[in-house]
Chain A
Amino acid sequence: MKRISKSRHDLPALPRRRFIQGLAAGGMVLGAAPWLDATAAREIPATAIGTPPVLTGTEFDLTIAETRVNYTGTPHMATTINGSLPGPTLRMREGDTVTIRVTNRLAVDTSIHWHGIILPYQMDGVPGISFRGIAPGETFTYQFKVAQSGTYWYHSHSGMQEQTGMFGTIVIDPARGDSIRADREYIVQFSDWTDEDPHRVMSKLKMQSDYYNFNQPTVADFFRDVSNEGLSGALAKREMWNQMRMNPTDLADISGYTYTYLMNGVTPAGNWTGLFRAGEKLRLRLINSGAMTFFDVRIPGLKMTVVQADGQNVEPVAVDEIRLGVAETYDVIVTPKDEAYTIFAQSMDRTGFVRGTLAPRTGMEAAVPAPDKPEPLDMEDMMGDMTGVARAHHAKTEYGPSVDMRVDTPRTNLDDPGVGLRDNGRRVLTYADLHTVGGPLDKREPGREIELHLTGNMERYVWSIDGVEFGRSTPIHFRHNERLRVVFVNDTMMTHPMHLHGLWSELESPDGKFLARKHTISVQPAQRVSFLVTADALGRWAWHCHLLIHMDTGMFREVVVS
């Protein structure tokens, strides 16, 4: 399929360099809180940032509290676990039964969800579905048998606490030795930080959904197109978008205008650094713990060999760049020479980045690339594949005020790296590259198929499934032990990382071949993705878009396995 020619957009002017780059020192500076009086400053401890402590064994104690952090020059409160951002790394062993006591020292309820972990539903940590939540002052004891291995993470499932810093890494060592060999390993956990109250952010988006988008088509862009392509060309390019009231630069709801992007809790200026000896094989456990940000990650000068996706080992594939969907994890092996390298992660909308360094000695750093120019959405992101055979079967609730657009002919191209990464000269990982070692856990053919549409209305800033927000929905029922196919069709122009709790999502290719076992599956705009699920875990589970505000505004379902 040919693509419509694309207009180029200049990088938006960012408000303050320090803002986006962050403070080098981050949260570690004590007494940098002019608005806090001395007493308060003593009472509220500062947050420890950077590589967090590693807790090992079978008993873990976690305390949730507010601590002070300063990423931009103004101190703010973060919601942290054991006082660090990220929270402590929990290192477990496959086969062990772990006990995790979580104590709430906040003024509001909290919870922890163990993302991607297969466990009894009462231990899954979603308030209102798995349990009641953890009230202030209360300690909740999680206990489950660890039945898997790999890289995972954990985070709050209450309110906006994930946005304010409440997440950490889980590493589970295989019971019988790791088939992935490396001399050294680092966790590289990405996140996004805003000084704003996340509820305020949501209110702003409700008022003006493009509030944080400073990359919109302007009159100047129009005249540039006129001079390049003629008046009719410039008009034709805008025809569909403007007629349909769709914005081709709608790449992220929240941008670097408010976000400071973090790597292991450290700002770009802070430059998180991992040391190595020349010749070593390094394993990097890449985790996207952003609330609303897709990160495009690369290490200029190094091929990354992807060996694991969402905690599951995959056939090794060497790439230059990986788009890390929110909540996804990828383990990669790199073999650096005796020099410094930049780990560069730019946000999908190119309004900011975070970088860190891999170096043989402290103090070394490599060149930091400039973010790419933001690429507007293509016609295929809006229309799908009109020459393809896939057809969407819309729900009757997709014809009302909750849905601004439907895609009738979705594209099924899992080999598409997505907007901004197409034809960029780098080898970018796609879902078509993923092949989980050992194949599917369940060889049965699906007994039935359910189709769900990812829907929204950007103008009203509402997000839903089949045009129905959670509050108006009914639970989705899976019969115990059934094998079924789930088809997602994305009717919107944003990529949605869909996370099914408690059950694996076994991604398949457009022609029905098994690709990868995942806990979170990103569905690109106007794309159709299918995967198989074995409903082998009884109970009540959450299923939602992992973009925090999409989840909270209603792109969420409860699944009941019975």
Chain B
Amino acid sequence: MTQRERTTENHATPSKRMNRIAAVVLFLGLAPAYAQEATTPDADNSDVQGSTSAAGGGMPGAAQMDYGKMVQGQMDHGSMQGGSPPPDARDPHAYSGGLVFGPDRQLKMADEHSFHSILIDRLEVVRTSDHTSGAYDLKARYGRDYDRAVLKAEGEVADGRTEEARTELFWSHAVAAYWDAQLGVRHDSGAGRPGRGWLAFGVEGLAPYWFELDATAYVGESGRSALRFAVEYELLLTQKLVLQPRIEANFYGQRDAELALGAGLSSAVAGLRLRYEIRREFAPYVGIEWAGKYGATADYARAAGAETKETRFVAGLRFWF
């Protein structure tokens, strides 16, 4: 009974924390999209001013300075990206004189075609101090420019068995220049693990300064909830040698004893991969990852006699077609 109460209590507190975390992560994920939707002129101007004053400090020419002022001027009368149309925005069909294409329009161009691609972002051998395993992370897309089906699959394989796999299928809809909203389902599986099903909602896109973001919130059975957040950056050392830092974090709304998951931040991984693009679509890489389990998830690991932090060396292949 006591145990039960404690459980409930434990459940309640992280759940609140979870909400806060959820709010923060969703904000992080969505903030850039909103920043585009309704650019805050103050923020933009302060950025510009920042760079301008920095430029003014040590710059050989005053050109930047002038541009900074002009840029500021530009920003004052409207952002160049995103935002919402002003009331006097033009109607793009205003020149049609009432003409429309009938249903028998013959000319169809590539904007009405579907494209498909499969990106195997990571197909790698993972080596830790005591064991070797494999991992995969792929994304397949099929559809048109603004609406497409997206399959995301990630998993670990060891001794010929899939230890842990997450497979997601989304309808991905473009909501802003750089952002897609994604609605779908997720299924977790793995040898000897109970399966878990989730409904998923997320945003994926490119944040200012070229950060690739993927943030998804999940709702499962029995009141389960989860959040997953990943951010990547591509640093071009040369035109073909790319260093890719990557951070991923997973949060759960309540503990899941069967899967040895605690509530709150459960795991985080920070990785660095160095790939060489023999071709754009074919790049071997090596890398290093630091993975940690946190909170009650770490407690589970400790109780099972496992490490909570590990350093992994990876080597693999990134390819797409």
Q: Which residues of A contact B (CB under 8 A)?
A: 2-5, 12-13, 126-129, 132, 202-204, 206-208, 211, 214-220, 229-233, 235-237, 239-240, 242-245, 379, 383, 386-387, 393-409, 450-452, 457, 459-460, 462, 464-477, 479, 549, 551-554, 556, 558, 560
Contacts and interface: CB of A to CB of B under 8 A. Distances in A.
Given A396-B85, A403-B177, A3 B63 contact: yes
B295 interface: no
Nearest to B82: A399
21 contacts: A4-B64, A4-B67, A203-B117, A218-B239, A219-B236, A232-B57, A233-B58, A235-B54, A236-B55, A239-B47, A243-B47, A244-B80, A394-B89, A395-B85, A395-B90, A396-B90, A401-B146, A459-B178, A472-B111, A556-B109, A560-B97
B255 to A, nearest CB: 39
A406 B70 CA distance: 16
Interface stretch (B100-108, B191-199, B258-266): B100-108
Closest 10 A-B residue pairs measured CB to CB?
A128-B107, A477-B97, A401-B174, A554-B111, A128-B106, A469-B111, A396-B89, A396-B85, A236-B55, A474-B96
B238 A220 contact: yes
Given A236-B59, A476-B96, A471 B90 contact: no
Interface stretch (B18-26, B130-138, B202-210, B298-306): B202-210
A232 B100 contact: no
Given A220-B237, A244-B80, A408-B77, A394 B96 contact: no
A208 B108 CA distance: 23
Nearest to B87: A396
Contact of A132 (B106, B175, B209): B106
Interface in B97-154: 97-101, 105-112, 115, 117, 119, 145-146
B51 A471 contact: no
Contact of A462 (B80, B81, B99, B145): B145
B235 interface: yes
A383 B75 CA distance: 10
Contact of B96 (A239, A379, A396, A477): A477
A243 B71 CA distance: 13
B241 to A, nearest CB: 9
B80 A386 contact: no
Q: Interface range on chain B: under 10, 10 to 19, 20 to 34, or 35 or more?
A: 35 or more
A426 to B, nearest CB: 24
A133 B112 CA distance: 19
B81 A405 contact: yes
Contact of B80 (A406, A468, A476): A406
B105 A207 contact: no
A76 B168 CA distance: 41
Contacts of A229: 58-60
A334 B63 CA distance: 40
B174 A460 contact: yes
A556 B66 CA distance: 37
Given A386-B71, A471-B111, 15 more contacts: A2-B66, A4-B64, A207-B115, A229-B58, A240-B71, A383-B70, A393-B90, A399-B84, A399-B85, A399-B89, A401-B174, A407-B80, A469-B111, A472-B111, A554-B111
A425 B73 CA distance: 33
B110 A236 contact: no
B175 to A, nearest CB: 7
Contacts of A395: 85, 89-92
A387 B70 contact: yes
